[in-house]
Amino acid sequence: MNRREFIGKAAIAGVAMVSAFKLTAVQEVEAANEPSSLEHKEPIARQVFGRTGHLSTLAILGAASFWSAPQEVTDAAMELALSYGINHIDVAYDYNMAEVRLGSWISRHGHPFFLATKSSGRTARTARLDLEGSLEALHVDAIDLWQLHNLINPAEFEIVFSKGGALEAAIEARQKGMVRFIGVTGHGLTAPAMLKKALERFDFDSVSFPFNYVMMQIPQYRTDVEALLVECRKRNVAIQTFKAVVRSPWGSDTRTHNTWYKPLTEPSDIELATHWILGHDDLFLQTPADTRLASIALEAISRFKAAPTEAQMQEQVQRLGMRSLF
């Protein structure tokens, strides 16, 4: 059963899909009901999101954290994010039930934020179907930013940019007013180079890629990221980053969070990692794909003043045995 079929059944039965990394509903609800969720928060700073003109918070709420979350957890996480002034939320058609959960909130409260989603469709037909599904699940008539998701495979790359490819659907959707802006994302070590290549083929409004201290110690990755940043700044393309709080791959360790990687969990460590990223001009940081970690990250980001030193970052890497996910 695909998600499109599941949406109708979930609306009737009120059930959530189970992901490989799902916590129990009890754990999720306990996390959502922590006292801090109702306290007044320090607003997170904002900057212009590239050429869109939108004044987005430096932290973008990564709604992958709603992947398998019960609705009450999603609602609590949304209220917490809004208490920090978050005004930009990023989700994807492929994020299991995340669009459905977020859409339920939107149907009751509207969406006073910049709304972004993504499609992994490579042909115009599959991308259009994803967009239709996203609009339905999110209870909206248009998306602010629609992104071609994880475009790093060379063969898929050529399909997307060919006649009948997904880019064709994106341009058509923008012309019809179904989306306002078009972006592209990538995962893995080749992401920055592939995103730069994508910008050479089409004038995208945003890019999104993994970015953290450990990955930037990989010489080729650093070189590719720096080249991508130069291109983005020249074109006024919005720069989004994710995988901020990676500690290492899970390996054989018991998975304790809804993340694809073993994350940093101590507030002081999350603060170092997020502040290092925010010390770079023009970057936006997506919160982790776990509601508990996202709440810690939001608090840390709200306190950002300056980047940590190289010595602080090196000490963290050595103390925690941090390794690149890729």
As given in the structure block, the two tokens for residue 169 are 């659907």
For 217, residues 6+ apart whose C-beta sits below 8 A from its C-beta are none
- Partner residues linked to 123 by β-bridges: 165
Per-residue pLDDT reduced to its tens digit, 95-126: 999 999 999 999 999 989 999 999 999 999 99
* Alpha carbons 78 and 1: distance in angstroms, whole number: 28
Per-residue pLDDT reduced to its tens digit, 260-301: 999 999 999 999 999 999 999 999 999 999 999 999 999 999
Per-residue pLDDT reduced to its tens digit, 213-256: 999 999 999 999 999 999 999 999 999 999 999 999 999 999 99
Nearest to 248 by CA among 164, 324, 155: 324
- The pLDDT score that the predictor gives to residue 40 is 60
* Alpha carbons 120 and 185: distance in angstroms, whole number: 10
* Alpha carbons 239 and 206: distance in angstroms, whole number: 6
Per-residue pLDDT reduced to its tens digit, 25-62: 334 444 444 434 445 688 999 999 999 999 999 999 99
Per-residue pLDDT reduced to its tens digit, 9-27: 333 233 232 333 334 333 4
CB 243 within 8 A of CB 325: yes
- The pLDDT score that the predictor gives to residue 91 is 98
Mind listing the domains of the chain with CATH numbers? 50-320 (3.20.20.100)
Query: What secondary structure letter does DSSP report for 258?
Result: S
Nearest to 2 by CA among 91, 133, 116, 149: 133
pTM of the model: 0.89
Q: Which H or E run includes 302? A: helix 291-302
The single-letter code of the amino acid at 130 is D
